[in-house]
Each structure stands twice: as structure tokens, then as C-alpha cells.
């Protein structure tokens, strides 16, 4: 099954021009939380206007699922049989994820601020991303959006792209098991946990406060400072 998509078909059509003037330059905030935690919704509500680009393969995945409409089931993964689920997984692994990676690389090339929105179930993958970004000069942070398993399951049932309950539980437990390791990876001052069981307005204010604090911090990484000095020197010569 061939899916032909290019960048303009996705979400970000503008060219990356801000570079050194990007307000969130060299900042990467990782969002973590199991299915139904509401982390993507929280990220959308709390980061607009601050210069961050949201990196989330789920958006490309959902768009592709709608396009191919496997078995006439749209994005309802919990309604798919094993063969259809295998097709959906192939789309995620071989189409949506690589496409999102190419978009993210464009942001990294400009050292733009990013919100990297994933579940956090794969700890080693997060470690790899964090180390690669730090080597380029990025300061890294994490906002862990937490919910109970019951709330996660209830929200999953109401999602357009709902998952089988056993997958939700497995993912939720994997994410929970990584909390302590994430605290060690990011450090106490760069890691926060917010409770989103009630989805109340207070959680948005709390996350907004953390994002603002992260954004206002001066870039500490000497690699970033050197890159910015070089870019500013180029602009002066131009």
C-alpha cells in the first residue's frame, strides 16, 4: 500500500527562517504520559505563541489512517482485527514516524525550540534523543502528565483513535515505571509531574508556568552559545 505525502500535506508549510532569533532557541521540552493522559491537549493549550514546534507522529499517523481507511474503520484501532492492526502498525512504523523525523530534523537544523510529544514508554529512545540534542547544544526538559489507569481507560474509550484496553494498560504501566529514571535523566529542576485526572483548568496554568520558566531560562550549554555567536556574526557580515 503506497501513501504519497510531502511536507505541505502535513502541518508545517512555512520555511524555517527564525534561526538565532527564535524565542525558544535550543530548548527541547519532552512531554510524557500514557494513552489518555491528555498530554497532547495540554501541550497544545500551554505552548502557543512561545516559539515551540510540536513534534508528534500521532498527527501524521491519524491523517494517514483516515486517508487509507483500513477496513472502513478510519482511526478506530480497537475495532480492527489482527490483520488490519498489522497494516496500521506498518503505516505508523514505516510512514508516519519517518515523516515526523524528517520534519523534526528541519527544526533541529535551525536549532528551533521543540515540544517532543510522546508517551515515554520507551526510556532508551528518550535517552538517545536527549543525548543527541544535548550534544548539539540543547537544554532539555520534561513535563510528565500523569493520570490513574481508570481515567486513562475512560478517556481512551472516548477518543477518535481508541486503542484496545490491554494496550492502554501495558503502555500506562511502562510509562509509570519510567518516572524515576526520567527524574534522573533530566534532573530535579528540569523535570515536573502534573496530575491531569480531573482535566481541570488548574493543570493548564501549572504547565504554562513551567513552560514559561523553561523558556525564560538563558541557554546554558556552551555549544549553543558558540553556535549563536557564529550565527549572529554571519548576520552582521550580511
* pLDDT tens digit sequence for 55-80: 988 888 888 888 888 888 777 777 88
In angstroms, rounded to a whole number, what is the distance separating the alpha carbons of residues 80 and 19?
A: 43
Residue 68 belongs to a domain: no
Q: How many domains does the chain have?
A: 1
CATH number of the domain at 118, please. 3.40.50.300
Residue 104 belongs to a domain: no
Alpha-carbon torsion angle 95, 58, 73, 67, nearest 10: -50
Residue 213 belongs to a domain: yes
Residue 16 belongs to a domain: no
Residue 211 belongs to a domain: yes
Residue 153 belongs to a domain: yes
CA distances from residue 237 to 18, 22, 205, 227 in whole angstroms, order as listed = 17, 20, 43, 16
* pLDDT tens digit sequence for 77-104: 778 888 888 888 888 889 888 989 999 9
Residue 96 belongs to a domain: no
- pTM for the whole thing? 0.81
The whole domain housing 135 covers 23-56+112-237
Residue 69 belongs to a domain: no
Amino acid at each position: 500500500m503506497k501513501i504519497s505525502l510531502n511536507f505541505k500535506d502535513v502541518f508545517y508549510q512555512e520555511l524555517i527562517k527564525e534561526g538565532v532569533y527564535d524565542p525558544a532557541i535550543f530548548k527541547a521540552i519532552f512531554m510524557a504520559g500514557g494513552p489518555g493522559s491528555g498530554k497532547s491537549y495540554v501541550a497544545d493549550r500551554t505552548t502557543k505563541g512561545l516559539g515551540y514546534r510540536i513534534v508528534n507522529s500521532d498527527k501524521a499517523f491519524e491523517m494517514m489512517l483516515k486517508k487509507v481507511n483500513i477496513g472502513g474503520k478510519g482511526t478506530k484501532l480497537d475495532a480492527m482485527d489482527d490483520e488490519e492492526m498489522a497494516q496500521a502498525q506498518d503505516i505508523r512504523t514505516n510512514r508516519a514516524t519517518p515523516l515526523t523525523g524528517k520534519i523534526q530534523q528541519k527544526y533541529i537544523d535551525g536549532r528551533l525550540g521543540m515540544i517532543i510529544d510522546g508517551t515515554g514508554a520507551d526510556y532508551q529512545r528518550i535517552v538517545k534523543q536527549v543525548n543527541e540534542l544535548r550534544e548539539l547544544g540543547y537544554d532539555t526538559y520534561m513535563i510528565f502528565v500523569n493520570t490513574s489507569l481508570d481515567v486513562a481507560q475512560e478517556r481512551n474509550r472516548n477518543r477518535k483513535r481508541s486503542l484496545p484496553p490491554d494496550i492502554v494498560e501495558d503502555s500506562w504501566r511502562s510509562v509509570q515505571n519510567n518516572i524515576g529514571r526520567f527524574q534522573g535523566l533530566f534532573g530535579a529542576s528540569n523535570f515536573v509531574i502534573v496530575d491531569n485526572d480531573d482535566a481541570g483548568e488548574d493543570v493548564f496554568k501549572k504547565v504554562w508556568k513551567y513552560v514559561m520558566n523553561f523558556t525564560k531560562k538563558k541557554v546554558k550549554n556552551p555549544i549553543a552559545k558558540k553556535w549563536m555567536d557564529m550565527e549572529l556574526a554571519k548576520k552582521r557580515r550580511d
